[in-house]
A and B are shown apart, each in its own frame.
Chain A
Amino acid sequence: MIQTFLDSWALFHTTYLAGGAIAVLLSLVGVWIVAREQIFLGAAIAQASALGIAALLWFTGLGAAASWPWLESRAAADACAVAASVTTALLTAAPSARTGARGEARTAWIFLVAASLPMLLLAHSPHGLEEVHRLMFSTLLGAAPEELWSFAGLALLTVLAVWRWHDRLRLLAMDPEMAAAVGMQTRLWTRVIALWLGVAIGLSIRVSGLIYTFGCLVLPMLVARNLCREVRPMLVVAPLVAASTTLVAFFFANHTDVPPAHAAVALLCALVPLTWPLRKT
């Protein structure tokens, strides 16, 4: 089994490493989502990224690519996905100015719009529908080396930011009123975090798809929550869980010839109830 995995390394190492880097990156930004009890927001942002890509495909389908060939590049798809996810993250980051509500209904509305519009936009475009289905299905097999380096760089930056500002991030996530009272610029911090969340999800969605992106965003943190007594160690445990689980899942997926992204998400899902008895309240 090990030999089979090692044999596949030459062909799939970019996929494996990109999957690991995405898992670490998303597990860290997912701390915010889980701590603020905005788990569904993660799905809405990921779905909005898919809408961004679908809008691009629709636009190019109208003949725009003839004038602007760049629109058919990966960079254009990334830009549209990130623009959509960042916009969604910023729109949903702050409480509603009118009602003060955190906006669960708003998040659900965004999710449903972003889930239905791509199908309508691309209903008559076989290539476009195929791309949307690929995003929904989740596959890591198309990861390119430059994308691996992008995710590795983003993951490293996130690790450094969390290490540098973990006290502020924890206080803001746990008790924003107190964070404001001790002088934190909570509005600015919240927007920067939303921006980072949007960039991480927007870039991940095209490479890894909705299921893997959403799974790595929330599941490692849910496992870490069962294993830790404080939020601080969760910032270390969540990425470790993400990295180790994806490694094991990719190993298993290679051996049994099943999709690696789904194997990783299924394993993370299994870990949540399995670690529940270890929860220290």
Chain B
Amino acid sequence: MTTAHAAHEAGGPAPFLFRLRAASVGYGAEPVLRAVEWEVHEGETWFLLGRNGSGKTTLLRALLGLLPIAAGTLERDPTRASRARIGFVPQRCEISPSLPTTVREFVLLGLVGLPSVRSERAERLGAALARTGLAGLAEHSYWSLSGGQRQRALVARALVRDPALLIFDEPTEGLDPPSETAFLDVVDGLRREGATVLFVTHRLAIAAGRASHLALLAEGRLLSGPIDAMLRRPELTEVFGVHAAKLS
């Protein structure tokens, strides 16, 4: 048990899953984000907000280990925030539409890289499909699903890993309103079950009522904190052009 876990057991703050200290991230010599200070703890629901090009996806890529930290540090809980315990839901899936695949095959590919789970594949598949409202569709062609169902299949592919942290990268982009509602219902269900969620969006309305914390990316900086405090910050109004407090 780490020192932070021991402190939490004694009634202290929840241990962090990851912590960025004075971190700069970006591509090449010019960082997209500078001096990032950010801590995410177990059970929190974070919404990362920012305009297009503000560095949301860049930050996610750094958290996923796909992009090195240019400066500063990124600390992870070695067990609960390792690659094996992160479920990633991308904005869209790159699969070639000419390739045949079933929902079962698609979701089970989420198990790649996990050791010794062959015996529990069926159980994990069933649980992931049930939690995303896709039970009974395992043998269906992935291409017969609607756009909203495909997005939920992406969530199932992340859930099949039994993740400690779920990362969503603008997953509702391009969905029609009913599909978006169905998708967000799944996210709400996961939040209620106590999952730690990191949700990237540029739509403040999606965050309102769901987030426990907000992180705002603007002009190369990241401002973060509990939602009540963040909704009162003038920077949020500057970025989104609304009085954010009205959404609380």
Contacts and interface: CB of A to CB of B under 8 A. Distances in A.
Interface in A232-281: 232, 234, 279-281
B64 interface: yes
A37 B141 contact: no
A174 interface: yes
Nearest to A179: B112
A174 B161 CA distance: 18
B100 A175 contact: no
21 contacts: A35-B96, A35-B99, A36-B96, A167-B109, A167-B111, A175-B93, A175-B94, A177-B90, A178-B90, A179-B112, A181-B66, A181-B86, A182-B161, A183-B65, A228-B100, A229-B101, A229-B102, A230-B105, A231-B105, A234-B100, A279-B100
B83 interface: yes
Nearest to A180: B66
Interface string B106-123: 000111110000000000
B94 A177 contact: yes
Given A181-B88, A183-B65, A281-B144, A174 B101 contact: yes
A243 B93 CA distance: 33
A206 interface: no
- Interface extent on B, as a size class? 20 to 34
Interface string B121-165: 000000000000000000001011000000000000100010000
Interface of B: 64-66, 83-84, 86, 88, 90, 93-96, 98-102, 104-105, 109-113, 141, 143-144, 157, 161
A229 B64 CA distance: 31
A184 B112 contact: yes
Most B Cβ at <10 Å: residue of A181, A184, A279, A280: A181
B200 to A, nearest CB: 14
A174 B113 contact: no
Closest 8 CB pairs of A and B: A183-B83, A181-B88, A230-B105, A182-B113, A171-B109, A171-B112, A174-B95, A37-B96
